[in-house]
Structure 1
Amino acid sequence: MEKSTVYFTDFRCKVGTSQLDKLKKLCIAAGIKDIDMEGKFVAIKMHFGELGNLAFLRPNYAKVVADLCKELGGMPFLTDCNTLYPGSRKNALEHMDCANLNGFNTITTGCQIIIGDGLRGTDDVEVPVENAEYCPTARIGRAVMDADVFISLTHFKGHEATGFGGAIKNIGMGCGSRAGKMAQHNSGKPVIETDLCHGCKRCAKECGSDAITYPEKKAVIDYDKCKGCGRCIGACSFDAIHNPHSNSNELLCRKMTEYAQAVCHGRPCFHIALVQDISPNCDCHGENDAPILPDIGIFASFDPIALDQACVDACLAAEPIRNSQLGDNLAKPEWHCHHNHFMDSNPNVEWEATLDHGEKIGLGTRSYELKRI
């Protein structure tokens, strides 16, 4: 497979030029105007941020992309699908309220907002997955699949289960309906080491399924309710929770990539990633820890695998921020250094599986040429 082209611009702005100007210039240089959008629905997939989280992308960026689509004759809308956990985005009404409170509305973004899988997260389409090994079909939000053109607008960051949250995470997990998210997460479920449990109830607060109780002041998981998302593992300060399925994070990454394949295959797609506010964990958290790396820039490409690879390479070459989850881990005398920022921030991840599998099934290539704008 030939190298893909990834376009990049940093965040430096001379007086009189804004980051929004640079984003528009980057998208045009990367070829967004080559897409025929005349009279067509254009889904712009992004994350509106959980309430309490401040690391998500500002709506100003979405407006740049939406306005470009309208200039090309398209009918853009912002979209995301409902979550499995009971945060502020578990149904369409609360999801829309969350988006509005975080600054996303028709005035700030220049387009409508549609929750992709409907009111209860059940409005989905079963989509065949080209070259699938794990998910012959994917359950994708209907509004996402009804669009003629698909654009991903991604906040690139760390992630407690997949290592990094990039374009593939935004597309594959983000466009899955609630049933689709369940299918991606069900490859393993955590267990509790009772002797290590302090009964602090932090894990229950993070659980999205109300699956953890404390009948005898020790955490107990109800496996009929548990979805295997792993958020409780990251919440525990005492290493009392772990996943006995050593390949569960790897399987999650591979399934997520196949879901992204289902979303992208057979229609025009374009992908943008802003590598800034690189928090250690997902924007689905109701908080965001300090960035683990400095802001890097904006990337764009027609190839989501090449895009994620370019973002990864830029992050791995960056200097860790000392007062952060990554910096704190590296400063521990007993820390076993992985020489990999994502694994040193969240040691149990298997992030390369995402890129390896994406290349294998034909979603894109890890080989790329970087063009600076």
Structure 2
Amino acid sequence: MSSEVYFSNFRSRSQKENKISKIKRLFDRAEFGKFLEKDDLTAIKLHFGEKGNDAYLKPVLVSAVVEKTLNYHAKPFLTDTNTLYYGSRHNSVDHLQTAIKNGFAYAVTGAPVVIADGIQGDNWIRVEVGLKHFQKVKIAGDIENSDSMLVLSHFKGHGMSGFGGAIKNLAMGCASAPGKIEQHRCAQPLITDNCNVCGTCLASCPLSIISLVDGKAVIDLDACVACNNCLSICPESAIGLDFNSLTEFMERMVEYAYGAVKSKKGKVGYINFLMDITPDCDCEAFSDAPIVPDIGILASTDPVALDSASYDLVNQQVGLENSLLEHQHHRGSDKFRGVWEGVNGRVLLEYAEEVGLGFQEYELINL
């Protein structure tokens, strides 16, 4: 079985063909208006971008989705959840300040910003899923309590899941802090023999659970929440991940994604933006050079088909020089494996289909 995915490229020679017009046309063709009802509290789930990152979705593009939602007399709000790592979005006060600084003000987008899991990530609701890794998942309260949802995702690479798209936006993005810990629990950082006991990681750990023992840094894994602050801070690259654990990590993400939309009963639409396709998540406080050219915008009511189509379109491109993509530049090669060699993002898609989140097979309809 396959699902319809609508696609529009970025070519434009008139006002009728600009990105705003394309988003509105995709919204209509994907028939998001069929599930939007009058007075629906509609969560528009997106990523506001970490402080220092500039690859996140532009607020002016988000405003087009807000405008279409208002046309159906729904009540949209822009939303995300606080982060597990200690950056500029770890609590709602910092998160709101970051969102506003990055341009997500009501005057720009036409919708208020609501951080869905509360000031310190303690506003969440248990949702029963009954799957392999979780019987119940912990979804942010204001997302779970919304009537409908539109999921806007900047499609890009990710060091733990290969790529980040609609499924990851649902999984990690709709989870409370305890839910994020549950997903990360199987993929904690490991200190290798390259450790030279410089002590840099000790200062980077927000929970102060790294110590020096017998000439080596040691992490108290029982207390570790896998925020992974220590991974990027080590000057010797002596802290890494057990890539064998990443299959389970991706399966846990899928089960959370399933829980994030379970109560919506089909009242969810998805848009992926294939632009500024960087190697890393927008949670990084920087944006590396894109690995392929900008491609276009896709919309569907099936997040698995949408991510599958997005993945394939990226792989059809010729990789860009002077990027982190060190090999697999040719058309048809797996660009995300070219950046994150040990991570197979297809696992995410396969398990998502297995649990019933959607279908990998799709019909791509060009507008």
TM-score (normalizing by structure 2): 0.92
1:176-325 correspondence to structure 2 within 5 Å: 176-197=175-196, 199=198, 201=200, 209-212=207-210, 219-230=217-228, 232-233=230-231, 238-244=236-242, 246-267=243-264, 268-325=267-324
Moved more, 217-226 or 133-142: 217-226
**Which residue type is aligned with residue 369 of structure 1?**
E
Q: Which of 225-234 and 146-155 deviates more?
A: 225-234
Conservation of the 8 A alpha-carbon contact between 1:166 and 1:308: yes
Partner SS, residue 325 of structure 2? helix
User: Number of paired residues?
Assistant: 362
Assess if the C-alpha contact under 8 Å between 2:153 and 2:165 holds in 1.
Answer: yes
Name the residue aligned to 1:113.
Answer: 113
Distance 2:136 2:151 in 1: 21
1:189 CA displacement: 2.1
Q: Distance in 1 between matches of 2:193 and 2:186?
A: 23
Could you say what secondary structure the match of 2:305 adopts? helix
Q: 1:205 to 1:156 in 2, by over 3 A?
A: farther
Aligned match of 1:334: none
1:355 counterpart (349, 356, 362): 349
Runs (5+) with no aligned partner, structure 2: none
- TM superposition shift of 1:301: 0.1
Higher mean alpha-carbon deviation, 68-77 vs 9-18, is at 9-18
Deviations 1:105-137 (A, max 9, x none): 1111101111000011000000111x5111111
Structure 1 position 58, deviation (Å): 0.7
For the residues of structure 2 that align with 1:29 and 1:206, how far apart are their CA atoms? 48
Deviation at 1:56, TM superposition (A): 0.4
Distance 1:171 1:35 in 2: 18
Distance 1:224 1:89, change over 3 A: same
Which residue is 2:79 aligned to?
A: 79
Q: Is the 8 A contact 2:191 2:239 kept in 1?
A: yes
Q: Which runs of 5+ in 1 are unaligned?
A: 332-337
CA 1:176 to 1:217, structure 2 compared with 1: closer, same or farther past 3 Å? same
Pair 247,217 (structure 1): closer, same or farther in 2 beyond 3 Å:
closer
Q: Does 2:335 correspond to 1:341?
A: yes
Q: Look up the match of 2:100.
A: 100
- Evaluate the alpha carbon distance shift between residue 330 and residue 209 of structure 1 in structure 2; reply closer, same or farther with a 3 A threshold: farther
Instruction: Supply the distance in 1 between the matched residues of 2:232 and 2:292 (Cα, whole angstroms).
Output: 20
The offset of 1:37, in angstroms, is 2.0
User: Structure 1 residue 236: deviation in Å?
Assistant: 5.0
Deviation at 1:62, TM superposition (A): 1.4
> What is the distance in 1 between the residues matched to 2:228 and 2:321?
26
Task: Tell me, in whole angstroms, the C-alpha distance in 1 between the residues paired with 2:72 and 2:284.
Answer: 35
SS of alignment partner, residue 360 of structure 1: helix
Between the aligned partners of 2:285 and 2:189, the Cα distance in structure 1 is 22
- Between 1:113-122 and 1:205-214, the stretch displaced more is 205-214
User: Contact 2:292–2:314 (CA<8 Å) still a contact in 1?
Assistant: yes
Q: CA RMSD in A?
A: 2.3
TM-score normalized with structure 1 length: 0.91
What do residues 301-353 of structure 1 show as CA deviations (whole Å, max 9, x unaligned)? 000000000000001111111111113x569xxxxxx9421112012213112
Aligned to 1:25: 25
Q: SS where residue 175 of structure 1 aligns?
A: coil
How much does 1:271 deviate?
0.3
Is 1:88–1:98's contact at 8 Å kept on the other side of the alignment?
A: yes
The match for 1:335 is none
CA distance in 2, matches of 1:125, 1:285: 28
Distance 1:312 1:9, change over 3 A: same
Contact 2:195 2:216 in 1 (8 A): no
List per-residue Cα deviations over 1:161-196 (Å, max 9, x = no partner): 110000000111100000000000001322212445
Contact 1:161/1:348 (CA < 8 Å) preserved in 2?
Answer: no
Give 3-state SS (helix, strand or coil) of 1:226's partner. coil
Paired residue type of 1:158: G
C-alpha displacement of 1:208: 6.0
Secondary structure at the residue paired with 1:326?
coil
